[in-house]
Amino acid sequence: MIRTEREDDIEKMIGGMPLTAESIGYSREELTTCGKCGKSNPPNRFNCLYCSAELAVAPTGVMERIVLRPLENFERGFNLILRPGPDNTGLAEKAARFLGADAEDIERIFSAGEPLPVARVESETIASTVSEGLAAFGCETWTLSDVDLTPNDPPRRLREIHFHPDELELIAFNAGRVSKIPYDQVTTIVLGMLTSSKIQTTEKKKRGERQLVEQIQYSGDELVLDIYSTEHPLGFRVMPSGFDFSTLGGERELLAGRNIIKLAEKLKDAIPAARYSDSYGSLRHALRAVWDFDDRKDSLGLKRVGLGRMDKQNLTTTGNITQLNKYSRLQRFLT
């Protein structure tokens, strides 16, 4: 059956009005061709929609929204750090729309009032383009790579700290290595928090499907303290367990968490010129929009229950050590 132009026109009209006020989608000239698979992509994408390869032609001009590929924690990325301005009214909503992110998450980052990441991308080229797009409506950012943050290299763990008139004496946890740092070389002190959660599940197989039989959850938080100096960019870390808090003298308490706070206050008083940050605990959930927690699922094998029945056990572990390391190192770069 051959359709007439008149019939096509009528189908596009409802009550004498066009179905759309403007053209939907992009013209053929606006599309970007993937150099790997040869397929066409919308001009607001950095990665091919079909094969995920990075497109050779980055989006240009001011766009309302871009499409970013979410990165895994193990990938090396480039972080766009927001510079808080005197007036961020309405900018969080615009930034969220532009980045295709959750508006509430971005609002928490903007309202924090300190430099925090708003996006994490896979190359410097993409970071530059996204930064220009954010700048178009008033959001100023700068780029910091995962290589600079070195999240997989935690600060050196400490066993003891001794306060001397002009320097700190830091003793490593296992090796007994001693580092003596003059007070004027201590740049940053960060009060952080390690979070861990473990969920153990038991499943049985019934009628070809897995059904949950039992679930046990363990979770906990502990305060930690990081110290950075000009000569030690990876820093040092005090953890509640295995640390000698006798340096606090008569101020020492029974709870390790309270001792961490008191040690942080003592360092702050002894070295007032150092940058001091204690806001991580309130920001860790907001940071998950860009720096998510680490998730890992392991099989614990089969468990015999009853005659001829074997249930499967799994362990899911969630932790924030990568996120904490990034935030802590960011504070060092802000010094």
In this predicted model, what pLDDT tens digit does every residue of 156-186 receive, in sequence order?
A: 999 999 999 999 999 999 877 999 999 999 9
Between CA 142 and CA 75 the distance in angstroms is: 20
Mean pLDDT of 192-197: 94
Whether 164 contacts 179, CB under 8 Å: no
Whether 33 contacts 39, CB under 8 Å: yes
HSE-CB for 133 with a 13 A CA cutoff: 28
Confidence of residue 191 (pLDDT cuts 50, 70, 90): very high
H or E segment and range at residue 129:
helix 124-135
Query: What's residue 82's pLDDT?
Result: 94
pTM for the complete prediction?
A: 0.79
Neighbour tally for 31: CB within 10 Å: 14
Residues in the chain: 335
Query: What's residue 147's pLDDT?
Result: 95
H or E segment and range at residue 285:
helix 280-287
Percent with pLDDT over 70 in the chain: 86
Decide: residue 127, CB within 10 A, 0-12 exposed, 13-18 middle, 19+ buried.
buried
In this predicted model, what pLDDT tens digit does every residue of 86-100 receive, in sequence order?
A: 766 678 888 998 998
Mean pLDDT of 256-281: 96
Query: What's residue 17's pLDDT?
Result: 55
Best CA proximity match to 327, nearest among 265, 283, 271: 283
Please say if the pLDDT value at position 33 is more than 70: yes
3-state secondary structure of 148: helix
Minimum mean pLDDT range among 29-43, 238-252, 287-301:
29-43
Confidence of residue 1 (pLDDT cuts 50, 70, 90): very low
Query: What's residue 2's pLDDT?
Result: 45
Between CA 322 and CA 329 the distance in angstroms is: 11
Whether 116 contacts 82, CB under 8 Å: yes
Mean pLDDT of 179-201: 95
In this predicted model, what pLDDT tens digit does every residue of 228-258 receive, in sequence order?
A: 999 999 999 999 999 999 999 999 998 999 9
Enumerate the domain spans of the chain. 28-55, 58-149, 156-334
In this predicted model, what pLDDT tens digit does every residue of 97-123 receive, in sequence order?
A: 899 889 998 999 999 889 999 999 999
Whether 72 contacts 39, CB under 8 Å: no
